[in-house]
């Protein structure tokens, strides 16, 4: 028995040392990329039990290879504004890993975009895409272009210039971008038009999130937000709880937030708050989604306008204070690191029961640790917000087979995928000794499929 214990300790030491050594190398190579390091650290910490049990992943240096993108493309995006001035932005595409399918991941247009942001998103996308069970690899891209306050013509000129360069690197079997912050159906439409013009071919499979009239999938717009709520519902039900009559707070008021609000309300929850980057609104009567959609989806307004139409509602101009509001369920659906340790403490003090990450990495490492320590049900973004990319993969499947499924068909498939992701993540957590920890479970389940494919394909 002693000998066995000794062997176990040696395996454990080797796995921990390997994980530490990989992280030290990543830190040394990417010194000014805090978000990327944060995303890598979370994955590496979760994988130690996998390396202990299956040393082959260390022997094949799988992690060393996974943390290094296949390639990073960075380019100039010149465009002319409405006053005739030439403007220059930066464009990025990080093609991280295509072991299980063509690169796939959204494009973000936001002034904060830089290498670190795109690499953290692209790295997370590898594991998320693997979890969906669909044949898609991991990528992400975008630009530091700020769409706020730009005219439609400026947005069109910018996206056309962006696509002129990006088109050299993408294709239905190569890399298939989609939307993200600042990139919705309008921008995807402009990019699709430019791609089509440059190739003189109608290739719908090159982008997802397209308009329904030219190859888009029904339910893609709703998929991420609905998927988050399906995942939360599954998690609650496995813990003998239900969404019905629960008080819910959702940050943001963009694509993910709006459709998370819609599905939560359909399932009987009372959603009382949402936000934008200026502030948040509280409406204890329940958020009027029609107003939010008019202000933020079809219009280009600020969320503070909501209180002009709903006299019972209140507006506060500090968006991070949204987590002070007592609620049963909190869904951060806006942006990375929007919910920190202090916010987590307040939510816990107010007896929050479950957290679901609609955004990518919205909770800081310390906040996640606190939720897990305190036994709050926690659904990590990689699993909970995978519905968007899953339906994007369904859009690709419809495009390549030239068919269109109904809204109900896609929505049903989405529900099945979200249940499957929940079960896979729980199963992996159980198998690797972290029962109930969906952060570890999702990371492990996502990793294993990609790692096995990489081993099977040799050192490339
Ligand atoms: P949108 O651009 O549609 O919306 C983003 C929303 O978040 C806006 O309402 C924006 O407000 C708000 N916001 C930004 N920063 C803050 C902040 N610090 N506090 C409060 N609100 C803020 O983006 P999406 O809804 O598409 O994306 C949201 C998140 O979900 C991102 O992390 C994205 O990566 C992730 N995601 C998106 C998917 C998708 O299919 N769209 C798929 C999977 C993940 P304002 O109007 O002021 O800018």
To the question of domain 71-201 being in CATH 3.40.50.10860, the answer is yes
Q: What is the pLDDT of residue 36?
A: 98
Distance 108 CA to ligand 1 centre (A): 10
Checking if the pLDDT of 297 tops 80, the result is yes
- 223-384: CATH topology is Rossmann fold (3.40.50)
d(CA 49, CA 271): 38
Distance 360 CA to ligand 1 centre (A): 9
Q: Which atom of ligand 1 is nearest to the CA of 256?
A: 25
Among 143, 334, 340, 390, the mutation site with the greatest number of ligand 1 atoms within 8 A of its Cβ is 334
CA-proximal residue: ligand 1, atom 4 (nearest): 254
Q: What is the pLDDT of residue 1?
A: 36
**pLDDT average, residue stretch 374-401:** 98
d(CA 183, CA 185): 7
**pLDDT average, residue stretch 235-249:** 97
Q: What is the pLDDT of residue 6?
A: 55
Among 119, 139, 276, 395, the mutation site with the greatest number of ligand 1 atoms within 8 A of its Cβ is 276
Checking if the pLDDT of 8 tops 70, the result is no
Whether the CB-CB separation of 417 and 162 falls below 8 Å is answered with no
7 is catalytic: no
d(CA 118, CA 233): 30
Whether the CB-CB separation of 439 and 373 falls below 8 Å is answered with no
* 407-451 pLDDT per residue, tens: 999 999 999 999 999 999 999 999 999 999 999 999 999 999 999
Share of the chain above pLDDT 70, in %: 98
Checking if the pLDDT of 379 tops 90, the result is yes
Read off the DSSP letter of residue 299.
S
Checking if the pLDDT of 11 tops 80, the result is no
Binding site membership of 182 for ligand 1 (Cβ less than 6 Å) = yes
Read off the DSSP letter of residue 386.
T
**pLDDT average, residue stretch 266-277:** 98
Distance 255 CA to ligand 1 centre (A): 7
Q: Which atom of ligand 1 is nearest to the CA of 335?
A: 32
Q: What is the pLDDT of residue 12?
A: 76
CA-proximal residue: ligand 1, atom 36 (nearest): 359
Binding site membership of 209 for ligand 1 (Cβ less than 6 Å) = no
DSSP 110-153: -TT--HHHHHHHHHHHHHHHHHTTSS--EEEEEES---TT--HH
Share of the chain above pLDDT 90, in %: 97
**pLDDT average, residue stretch 228-241:** 98
CA-proximal residue: ligand 1, atom 19 (nearest): 277
**pLDDT average, residue stretch 216-226:** 98
Q: What is the pLDDT of residue 406?
A: 98
Cα–Cα–Cα angle for 20, 21, 23, rounded to 5 degrees:
65
Binding site membership of 179 for ligand 1 (Cβ less than 6 Å) = yes
Residue of 430, 419, 410, 412 whose CA lies nearest to 384: 419
Whether the CB-CB separation of 336 and 117 falls below 8 Å is answered with yes
Residue of 368, 432, 439, 424 whose CA lies nearest to 48: 432
Checking if the pLDDT of 67 tops 90, the result is yes
CA-proximal residue: ligand 1, atom 39 (nearest): 180
Strands (E), 172-326: 175-178, 247-250, 270-275, 280-282, 314-316
Q: Which residue has the higher pLDDT, 298 or 374?
A: 374
Binding site membership of 385 for ligand 1 (Cβ less than 6 Å) = yes
From the candidates 119, 140, 296, 424, give the one annotated as an active-site residue: 140
Distance 358 CA to ligand 1 centre (A): 9
Q: What is the pLDDT of residue 300?
A: 86
Q: What is the pLDDT of residue 10?
A: 74
**pLDDT average, residue stretch 106-134:** 98
**Mean pLDDT value across the chain:** 96
């Amino acid at each position: 028995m002693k000998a066995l214990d000794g062997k176990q300790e040696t395996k454990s030491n080797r796995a921990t040392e390997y994980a530490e050594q990989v992280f030290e190398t990543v830190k040394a190579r990417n010194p000014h990329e805090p978000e990327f390091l944060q995303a890598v650290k979370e994955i590496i910490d979760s994988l130690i039990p996998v390396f202990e049990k299956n040393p082959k992943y260390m022997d094949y240096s799988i992690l060393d290879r996974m943390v290094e993108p296949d390639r990073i493309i960075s380019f100039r995006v010149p465009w002319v504004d409405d006053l005739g001035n030439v403007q220059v932005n930066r464009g990025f595409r990080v093609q991280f890993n295509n072991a299980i399918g063509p690169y796939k991941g959204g494009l973000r247009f936001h002034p904060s975009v830089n290498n670190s942001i795109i690499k953290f998103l692209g790295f997370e996308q590898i594991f998320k895409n693997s979890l969906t069970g669909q044949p898609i690899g991991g990528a992400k891209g975008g630009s530091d272009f700020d769409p706020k306050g730009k005219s439609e013509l400026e947005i069109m000129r910018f996206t056309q210039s962006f696509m002129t360069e990006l088109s050299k690197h993408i294709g239905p079997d190569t890399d298939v971008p989609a939307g993200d912050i600042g990139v919705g159906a309008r921008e995807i439409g402009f990019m699709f038009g430019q791609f089509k013009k440059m190739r003189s071919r109608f290739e719908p499979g090159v982008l997802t999130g397209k308009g329904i009239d030219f190859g888009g999938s029904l339910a893609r717009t709703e998929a991420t937000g609905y998927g988050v709520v399906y995942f939360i519902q599954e998690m609650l039900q496995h813990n003998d709880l239900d969404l019905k009559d629960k008080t819910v707070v959702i940050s943001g008021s963009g694509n993910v937030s709006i459709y998370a609000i819609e599905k939560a309300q359909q399932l009987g929850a009372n959603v009382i708050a949402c936000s934008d980057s200026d502030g948040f609104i509280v409406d204890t009567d329940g958020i009027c989604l029609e107003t939010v959609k008019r202000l933020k989806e079809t219009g280009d307004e600020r969320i503070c306008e909501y209180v002009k139409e709903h006299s019972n509602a209140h507006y506060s101009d500090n968006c991070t204070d949204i987590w002070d509001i007592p609620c049963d369920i909190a869904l951060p659906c806006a942006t990375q690191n929007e919910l920190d340790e202090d916010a987590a403490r307040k939510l816990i003090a107010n007896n929050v029961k479950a957290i679901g990450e609609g955004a990518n990495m919205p909770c800081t490492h310390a906040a996640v640790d606190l939720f897990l320590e305190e036994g709050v049900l926690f659904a990590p973004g990689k699993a909970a917000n995978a519905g968007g990319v899953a339906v994007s993969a369904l859009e690709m499947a419809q495009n390549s087979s030239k068919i269109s499924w109904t809204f109900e068909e896609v929505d049903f498939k989405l529900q099945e995928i979200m249940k499957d992701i929940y079960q896979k993540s729980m199963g992996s957590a159980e198998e690797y000794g972290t029962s109930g920890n969906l952060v570890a479970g999702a990371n492990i389940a996502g990793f294993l499929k990609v790692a096995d494919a990489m081993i099977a394909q040799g050192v490339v």
